[in-house]
């Protein structure tokens, strides 16, 4: 192989690799997001509405009873933003963030009276958001 064809081969191999990576991150059809209602028993229902950035993927309004687990599969590699309403409280949070969650198969959220907790394994939780009032 001459130096010239070696170079062409390298350029070709790099562009194929770059293309493969680009197509792999273009969509994300495997991360499943769970939102669980962990509010106090017999409290007001929780209403949530989620959509991806630029509304490419819109999930309708959901009413979750205590204990419900609402889940969906992420279809766009972009931020999924959710709004929540509960009694006189409201909040919004990023249910899916590509930078944070892209390589995880599952993203769990539990909504409690003291806020919104994120986990990748349904056991170690980090609070990311709290409820607001007027």
Ligand X SMILES: *[C@@H]1O[C@H](CO)[C@@H](O)[C@H](O)[C@H]1NC(C)=O
Provide the binding-site residues for ligand X, judged by CB under 6 A. 27, 29, 34, 75, 103-104, 120-122
Distance CA(36)–CA(131), nearest Å, equals 16
Smallest gap from residue 58 Cβ to ligand X (A) = 14
Which is closer to ligand X, CB of 1 or CB of 22?
Answer: 22
Which is closer to ligand X, CB of 75 or CB of 129?
Answer: 75
Which is closer to ligand X, CB of 92 or CB of 104?
Answer: 104
Smallest gap from residue 134 Cβ to ligand X (A) = 33
DSSP the chain: --HHHHHHHHHHHHHHHHHHHHHHHH-----EEEEEE-PPTT-PPEEEEEEEGGGSSEEEEEEE-TT-EEEEE--SSS-EEEEEEETTEEEEEEEE-HHHHTT-SEEEEEEETTEEEEESSSSS-EEEE--B--
Smallest gap from residue 15 Cβ to ligand X (A) = 19
Which is closer to ligand X, CB of 33 or CB of 48?
Answer: 33
Smallest gap from residue 86 Cβ to ligand X (A) = 20
């Amino acid at each position: 192989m001459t130096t010239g064809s070696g170079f062409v081969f390298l350029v070709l191999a790099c562009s194929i690799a770059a293309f493969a990576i680009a197509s792999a991150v273009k969509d994300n059809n495997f991360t499943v997001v769970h939102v669980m209602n962990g509010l106090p028993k017999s409290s007001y229902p929780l209403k949530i509405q989620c959509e991806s950035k630029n509304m490419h993927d819109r999930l309708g309004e959901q009413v979750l009873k205590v204990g419900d687990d609402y889940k969906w599969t992420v279809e766009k590699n972009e931020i999924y933003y959710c709004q929540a309403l509960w009694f006189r409280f409201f909040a919004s949070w990023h249910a899916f963030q590509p930078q944070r969650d892209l390589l995880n198969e599952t993203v769990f959220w539990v909504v409690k009276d003291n806020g919104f907790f994120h986990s990748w394994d349904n056991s170690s939780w980090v609070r990311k958001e709290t409820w607001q009032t007027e």
